[in-house]
Amino acid sequence: MQEQLRKFLEKVIATHKDYKFIFNHSSWQTDFLRFYQSQVNYNISKSSEQLWVTIYQGKKSLSFSISDPDEKKLSHKLDESFNLISKLPNDEDFVDIENDLTKTKEKAKENNIKKLSLDNKIDILQKFSTVAKKHGFKTFGTFICNYETSSILNSNGVDKVSYNSPIMLEIKGVADKNMVTVLESLGGEQIANLDFDRALESFERKLIAGKAEVVDLDPDHYEVILAPRCIGEYLTNLGSSFHSASLDRKSSFFEGKENKEVFPKNITVYDDPHDADLVNFDYNGEGHKIDKLMLIENGVFKNYLVNSYYGHKTNLPINGNSGSCLVMKTGDKSLEEMISTVKKGIYISSLHYMNFINVKETSLTGLTRDGTFLIENGKITKVINNLRFTEKISSILENITEIENNSFVIPFSSNYGAFEISSVKMPHVKVAKFHITSSTKTI
Amino acid sequence: MKKLIYDIVGKLNKRDIQFGDVRFTSSDSQTIFFEKKNLKHISKTTDAEALGIRVLVDGCWGFAGTDVMDVTKVDGLINLAISNAKHSARFRHTPVAFKSIKPTTGSYYFVPEEDPFAMPDDQKIEYLQNIANKLNQNPLIIHTGVHVDFYRQYKVYANTEGSFVDTLVYDTMPSMSVVAVNSKGMQTRTWPGHMSTKRGGFEVVREAKLEENIDRIVKEVIDLLDAPTIEEEKADLIIGGGHLALQLHESVGHATEADRILGMEISYAGKTFIKPEMLGNFKYGSKEVNIYSDSTDPRGIGYHLVDDEGVPGRKVDIIKEGILLDQQTSREIAPQLGLEPSSNMMASFADDFPLVRMTNFCLAPGKAGSLEDLIKSTEKGYYIDFTKTWSIDDNRNNFQFTTEIGYKIVDGQIVGIVKEPTYFGITAEFWGACDAVCSESEWNYHGTSYCGKGEPGQAMHLSHGVAPARFRNIVCNVKA
């Protein structure tokens, strides 16, 4: 944020003591390469500067945002807001805005858009495409670098800055002859931790597996191996139940289960915004410093994700976590050992279009995507058409029988509203009695 | 602003590029949200300006966009777009073929009956507070919401072929919901349902008749708590307009976006089961099924003079009497399929890259009369509406939907309700099972402001014209 604007925001806070302000300023850039059929579809460079403002007068509040903010625009909007706010009804549940003044080192991160140039990206993609071609596949996907600086100032003295520069490569190999698809992804913030050569080797192993015969599978309950991406997605979807807002709305699966054993003892899940392998976050959107938070420990539900609003409302301790850096504790089996004991089952690489049927019951439906494989007598033998499941996330977790002794970082991009990249670190898991309800009959 | 756009096009015309276009948008939006009786959120964004420059150089697209409107940086933006194209061309084996078209010039300014951005905020809040207060009338109801989005966008489109068009539109999305809980579980009812965005201002909120439908959704959500589920394996379903719009959207609209045929969306939104050789012969549905894309109808949100690459608005038959005829295309894609561009390239804001998007994507009315007539002619089945869950596969082939409520039909009469009716189908089999579509009198536009596609993601405003329709022998007993 430019110094002149910062000083003006500080002045607004100092001169309007009857109000409380939250100022969130974000300066954001992306360099976004999208490719298909082993060639560029388009490359986007995009920049944005936004200021989000929330004003409180007692229990009344309103918000506005300004693109490309300056003093003139902000003054105009503030005057408009001061005129309106006294006419608004109260939000009786509101107590106070964030007051956590603890800070991290707020170390600026290198801008990975500059470190990983468009030419560098293309060099990497050409290697993947060459390997794909050797096996009769073409490459499709995205290669993204972002850089964001976020500042938070509020009337309670919060004054914090955070930096993000995530990198995300998601590359799919699609077979020329039958559209069988396999997926490789990697992401994080430290280029040194991104092992493109290892990803290329892994991608080639998947391409080879994808050349197998394609078969269909009847609806039934199966033993499945869920890839790290899949268990990460289920846990992310369970995030609504982890959040104190859902407890307040009586829609949380965990209501009444606090400190009780809800899943098998081998399941431990936590939110760790400082895990060096992940895209890291110092603060939540309100400026609350966030730290490692245990969610499920040895099968016992431990904590809700609590922001200041719902902390005041539910009397739960505020932790500020949002579940954007989920980590599942590894187990004691190698992936090969896990597969070797499956007589007839399914390896699921990725999931698609999940949606809740009943959020409190955690029942949902969705599909497999980008590599679904048949396991027979301990070996992956065939490719399976994509399948639909209708399951409860709680049942999936209850039925986990084995967890891999290794874990993988999986990046996810959020594609509504602000474009953000976050990541999870997950192992493979083996699940008994997974409910497949139909086949798509297509790859 | 028009002068700036003219100037940018002038600069592009002096550069060594095959094609270039420029878009400018200035967008306003307001959200008002009541949770229970409390005003939880009121926010406004006004004059959010954005600029995007797209160029075709060396057979490859390059794009640069920003919401920081600094006229001194326009040359840098042009250079960045051109540089992106030139560098990216290294990884392009087939140059983009792009035939020139006749330029279009013109303006379109929609005028709402009640401009929500001119209306005092306290008047809007008072109106909605009244709804919020009346929703909270039963102790079993543990959560309620009243949510309205107002949107206005001014857009200028210009390209190096000479097209220059500016437009102003207003869209409004009203909704309310109630959630009830008892020992048997939690149920939800909403009004007017999932696709409630319409072109217009505050009059759209009044026309939604929120207050008049409070008693209905409160009674229904309480009744749903103790309602049975569908027990039959298969049943005849009459699908109401709001939910049928989503069924059309997911299983035909997205499936006939031709960028999916070429794999341009594989990385995120997915592909389609449709292959180029299916055009002109594939049986997508029964003879009752006539589906078209129509960006020339100003009643729908998808109306425009030109799309975001200069193609004039068009009405295109996608499916005629059940046979797949055409696709939603772009100027790059259409010739590869032997088609004419369908005027479906759209971007949410000027700093977004345009994609193949639905505009007004419609199921033509049939001859089944009114909804009442259709129910009367149904011996046994369910009338379902109000979307709860939706999911469809990567190829837009296997879908499963759940609605909030189903009304049981026996001998042409509604005799009770069922909770969470869930049905499953394969796209062409499902549309092939359509034996009746209600007549023009039941046909309406249903719109959304949140159709997600592309990376970085874009939420598009679009609409679907539909009338309730009946589908025979549909699998409807799927449970977790």
Tell me the two tokens of residue B430: 């499902």
Which pLDDT value is given to residue B137?
Answer: 81
CATH number of the domain at B2-225, out of 3.40.50.10490, 3.40.50.720, 3.30.2290.10, 3.90.45.10?
Answer: 3.30.2290.10
Express each pLDDT in B55-90 by its tens digit: 999 999 999 999 998 889 999 999 999 999 999 999
Residue that has been written with the tokens 């976020």 in this structure: A150
Give yes or no for B109 touching A (CB within 8 A): no
Check pLDDT > 70 for residue A155: yes
The model's confidence at residue B1, banded by pLDDT at 50, 70 and 90, is: confident
Q: What is the mean pLDDT of residues B21-25?
A: 98
Which pLDDT value is given to residue A418?
Answer: 64
Which pLDDT value is given to residue A398?
Answer: 97
- The torsion angles phi and psi of B85, rounded to 5 degrees, stand at -65, -45
A304 and A403 belong to one structural domain: yes
Is-contact B408 B443, C-beta < 8 A?
Answer: no
Q: What is the mean pLDDT of residues A360-366?
A: 95
Q: Which of B165, B164, B159, B166 is nearest to B9 (CA)?
A: B159
Nearest residue in chain B measured CA to CA from A78: B44
Give yes or no for B479 touching A (CB within 8 A): yes
The domain boundary, picked from A209, A242, A275, lies at A209
Residue B166 identity (one-letter amino acid)? D
Q: What is the mean pLDDT of residues B405-418?
A: 98
Inspect the interface and report whether the beta carbons of A42 and B395 lie closer than 8 Å.
Answer: no
Residue that has been written with the tokens 């959107």 in this structure: A285
Express each pLDDT in B332-349 by its tens digit: 999 999 999 999 999 999
Q: What is the mean pLDDT of residues A214-229?
A: 97
Lateral strand order in the sheet of B315-320: B323-324, B315-320, B291-294, B361-363
Tell me the two tokens of residue B116: 């929500």
**CA–CA separation, A254 vs A250, rounded Å?**
10
**Chain B: closest CA distance from residue A368 (Å):** 8
Express each pLDDT in B376-408 by its tens digit: 999 999 999 999 999 999 999 999 999 999 999
| Secondary structure (DSSP) of A180-249 | -EEEEEEEES-GGG--HHHHHHHHHHHHHHTTSPEE---SEEEEEEE-HHHHHHHHHHTHHHHBHHHHHT
Express each pLDDT in B173-208 by its tens digit: 999 999 999 988 899 999 999 899 999 999 999 999
A204 and A250 belong to one structural domain: no
Is-contact A440 A386, C-beta < 8 A?
Answer: yes
Is-contact B374 B477, C-beta < 8 A?
Answer: no
Quickly count: other Cβ atoms within 10 Å of residue A361's Cβ: 17
Which pLDDT value is given to residue B238?
Answer: 98
Q: Which of B393, B359, B387 is nearest to B251 (CA)?
A: B393
Which pLDDT value is given to residue B194?
Answer: 86
**CA–CA separation, B43 vs A88, rounded Å?**
12
Which pLDDT value is given to residue B455?
Answer: 84
A222 and A187 belong to one structural domain: no
A315 and A176 belong to one structural domain: no
Q: Which of B41, B186, B353 sits opposite A360 (nearest CB)?
A: B186
Is-contact A138 A176, C-beta < 8 A?
Answer: yes
* Mean predicted lDDT score pLDDT of chain A: 95
**DSSP 8-state assignment for residue B184:** T
Instruction: Please state the domain extents for chain B.
Output: 2-225, 234-475
Q: Which chain B residues contact residue A28 at CB under 8 A?
A: none
Q: What is the mean pLDDT of residues A36-48?
A: 94
The domain boundary, picked from A209, A233, A263, lies at A209
A185 and A270 belong to one structural domain: no
Q: Which chain B residues contact residue A76 at CB under 8 A?
A: none
Q: What is the mean pLDDT of residues B132-140?
A: 91
Q: Which of A37, A89, A386 sits opposite B393 (nearest CB)?
A: A386
Give yes or no for B229 touching A (CB within 8 A): no
| Secondary structure (DSSP) of A242-256 | HBHHHHHTT--TTTT
A287 and A314 belong to one structural domain: yes
Which pLDDT value is given to residue B7?
Answer: 96
Give yes or no for B42 touching A (CB within 8 A): yes
**Chain B: closest CA distance from residue A229 (Å):** 15
Q: What is the mean pLDDT of residues B281-291?
A: 98
Give yes or no for B276 touching A (CB within 8 A): no
Inspect the interface and report whether the beta carbons of B42 and A92 lie closer than 8 Å.
Answer: no
* Mean predicted lDDT score pLDDT of chain B: 96
Q: Which chain B residues contact residue A435 at CB under 8 A?
A: 480
Domain extent at residue A78 = 3-209
The model's confidence at residue A417, banded by pLDDT at 50, 70 and 90, is: low
Tell me the two tokens of residue B477: 């007993």
Inspect the interface and report whether the beta carbons of B480 and A435 lie closer than 8 Å.
Answer: yes
Nearest residue in chain A measured CA to CA from B33: A62
**DSSP 8-state assignment for residue B256:** G
The model's confidence at residue A419, banded by pLDDT at 50, 70 and 90, is: confident
Quickly count: other Cβ atoms within 10 Å of residue B199's Cβ: 21
**Chain A: closest CA distance from residue B439 (Å):** 32
Which pLDDT value is given to residue A277?
Answer: 92
Q: Which of B230, B173, B223, B195 is nearest to B386 (CA)?
A: B195
Query: Nearest-5° angle of CA A323, CA A325, CA A330?
Result: 110
Q: Give the length of chain B.
A: 480
**pTM for this entry:** 0.95
Q: Which of A118, A361, A419 sits opposite B87 (nearest CB)?
A: A118
**CA–CA separation, A54 vs B93, rounded Å?**
50
Q: Which chain A residues contact residue B276 at CB under 8 A?
A: none
Which pLDDT value is given to residue A116?
Answer: 95
Q: Which chain B residues contact residue A45 at CB under 8 A?
A: 63-65, 80-81, 84
Which pLDDT value is given to residue A2?
Answer: 84
Express each pLDDT in A76-97 by its tens digit: 999 999 999 999 999 988 999 9
Q: What is the mean pLDDT of residues B452-475?
A: 95
**Chain B: closest CA distance from residue A141 (Å):** 4
Q: Which chain B residues contact residue A440 at CB under 8 A?
A: 393-395, 397-398, 426
Which pLDDT value is given to residue A415?
Answer: 65
Q: What total number of domains does chain A contain?
A: 2
Share of chain B above pLDDT 90, in %: 95
Inspect the interface and report whether the beta carbons of A119 and B90 lie closer than 8 Å.
Answer: yes
Q: What is the mean pLDDT of residues A263-272?
A: 97
Check pLDDT > 90 for residue B477: no
Give yes or no for B181 touching A (CB within 8 A): yes
Express each pLDDT in B244-267 by its tens digit: 999 999 999 999 999 999 999 998
A193 and A219 belong to one structural domain: no
**CA–CA separation, A89 vs B277, rounded Å?**
60
Residue A101 sits in a domain whose CATH number is: 3.30.2290.10
**CA–CA separation, A85 vs A68, rounded Å?**
24
A326 and A312 belong to one structural domain: yes
A218 and A201 belong to one structural domain: no
For chain B positions 375-404, those within 8 Å of chain A (CB to CB) are: 388-395, 397-398, 400, 402
Q: Which of A32, A49, A358 sits opposite B186 (nearest CB)?
A: A358
Inspect the interface and report whether the beta carbons of B185 and A358 lie closer than 8 Å.
Answer: yes
Which pLDDT value is given to residue B267?
Answer: 86
Which pLDDT value is given to residue A106?
Answer: 80
**Chain A: closest CA distance from residue B61 (Å):** 5
**Pairs across A and B, CB distance < 8 A:** 265
The domain boundary, picked from A209, A241, A267, lies at A209
- A366 beta partners: A389
Q: What is the mean pLDDT of residues B100-129?
A: 97
Check pLDDT > 80 for residue B294: yes
Inspect the interface and report whether the beta carbons of B478 and A249 lie closer than 8 Å.
Answer: no
Give the ipTM. Answer: 0.92
A47 and A105 belong to one structural domain: yes
Tell me the two tokens of residue B370: 């009114």
A136 and A237 belong to one structural domain: no
| Secondary structure (DSSP) of B20-55 | EEEEEEEEEEEEEEEETTEEEEEEEEEEEEEEEEEE
**Interface probe with A: pick from B61, B77, B88, B272, most Cβ of A within 10 Å:** B88
Give yes or no for B351 touching A (CB within 8 A): yes
A171 and A251 belong to one structural domain: no
